[in-house]
Amino acid sequence: MKGQHRIIVSTRRLRYDFIVRRNLTVIRSDSATGKTTHVDMIQEHSNHPCGSPVELICDKTCFVLTGPLWREQLSGMPDWNRG
């Protein structure tokens, strides 16, 4: 991934609007700031793109990688560029 990409994830009650500049983005912050909610929203949209109350707007496909198999999951992602 080159350049930067704006990602908007929203429901009727919540809206996250941010820019990423890397292929792989790690979300860190203080406790109780919405990290898990944000990730859950992206995963909900990924699992049910047509039947989800979550709207995800981005020019690239967004994925949530979790657990001990994240490296294997990452290697199967489209547009993954190790360079």
The domain limits of the chain are 5-75
Q: What is the pTM for the complete model shown?
A: 0.74
14 pLDDT tier (thresholds 50, 70, 90): very high
Q: 35-54: buried (b, 16+ CB within 10 Å) or exposed (e) per residue?
A: eeebeebbbbbeeeeeeeeb
What is residue 22's three-state secondary structure? coil
Q: What is the pLDDT of residues 64-80, one digit of tens each?
A: 888 888 888 888 777 66
The CA distance from 53 to 12, in Å, is 8
Would you state the pLDDT for residue 56? Answer: 94
Q: What is the DSSP letter of 12?
A: S
Nearest to 53 by CA among 7, 82, 11: 11
Is residue 50 scored above 90 in pLDDT?
no
Would you state the pLDDT for residue 11? Answer: 94
- If you average pLDDT over residues 41-48, what whole number do you get? 90
